[in-house]
Amino acid sequence: MKTNSYAAQSATTPLAPFNFQRRDPGTHDVQIQILYCGVCHTDVHIARNEWHGTTYPCVPGHEIIGRVVKTGALVRKFKEGDIAGVGCMVDSCRICENCKDDLEQFCEKGSTFTYNAPDKHTGGMTYGGYSNNIVVDEAFVLHVPKNLNLAAAAPLLCAGITTYSPLRHNKVAKGQKVGVVGLGGLGHMGVKLAKAFGAHVVVFTHSPNKVKDALRLGADEVVNSKNEDEMKKHINSFHFILDAVAAQHDINAYLVLLKRDGTLTQVGVPAEPLSVQVGSLIFGRRNFSGSLIGGIKETQEMLDFCGKHNITSDIELIPIQKINEAYDRVVKNDVKYRFVIDMASLKEAS
């Protein structure tokens, strides 16, 4: 079917209107009219080929909320009119150990990402959510709680699960002390979720203008990460720290804040390697780990959790025509805290 979208045609050209053909829904497929699509920093990296693996034309977008308009004959989980979500993956091998453990993000044969990935159905590349519709196997489509603001729920499909998964995996619970490093698109979700898990939440930032916002989002304390005296007060005190900083920084300054057997999980992806002083780990039996989104089962769990606690992202809603301006602002960290595209505006650009 004909699909309207915005695409990057090269690493240096702005995103612009682009038409292509989606496959018609198969027996297990769900066709979704896209209502909102979040803008992730990953979109910027891939559209501009900063990770050196982009195939053009590239239609970004993996934080998708929409309405089901058609289902295949064997679809059982969704019906026409349902509100549905699609995140970072649209398929996996489904037979490897990780897939069988509901960890499709670690598929041994490689997950099929929502965009810029080989599409086994068309033989081309997958195209993402900066478009007016998408067709996805029902196994990779998610139910969105009806009480959530749909535009603000879109970033949950990436930023939400990226921060929920490590909190859940590390069994963050009531009474624990949890740190969040960096208050951006990921960090602000980490604060909201950790607070909902019942933790005492401490935000680390070197930006004085983010102190009030951190407290508004639910933080119990805010620490100036550049102030050595403030940092020293928290040595050996954290059960868990979520590091959402995607730039070069001193990871050891945070590792020493962990209690014995505490864990720091990195979800921000700096361009250059971080230097770890092994002593920071050995003395205290501390753990330094990484985490990547979550499987479909856990992503649905996250959405249900957010529905129960009425958690969404803080967003700025934009028309698709402002996407290039939004990309520039994402790079400058000039958004609180995620852009979301109102896809109704796409009709005007087609």
The Cα 28–Cα 173 span in angstroms is: 38
Q: Tens of pLDDT along 278-312?
A: 999 999 999 999 999 999 999 999 999 999 999 99
230 and 342 housed in the same domain? no
CATH number of the domain to which 187 belongs: 3.40.50.720
Task: Kindly report, residue by residue over 303-329, the tens digit of the pLDDT.
Answer: 999 999 999 999 999 999 999 999 999
Chain position carrying tokens 């059960």: 239
Does residue 323 share a domain with residue 277? no
β-pair type (2-7, 16-21) = antiparallel
Q: What is the pLDDT of residues 185-215, one digit of tens each?
A: 999 999 999 999 999 999 999 888 889 999 9
Reduced to 3 states (helix: H, G, I; strand: E, B; else coil), residue 35 is strand
Work out the average pLDDT over 229-246. Answer: 96
**235: domain range?**
160-290
How many structural domains are present in the chain? 2
For residue 271, give every residue at least 6 positions away whose Cβ sits within 8 Å of its Cβ, in sequence order, or none: 246, 247, 248
For residue 135, pLDDT beyond 70: yes
Residues 12 and 144 placed together within one structural domain of the fold: yes
- Judge if pTM exceeds 0.75: yes
pLDDT for 57:
97
Same domain as 106, residue 57: yes
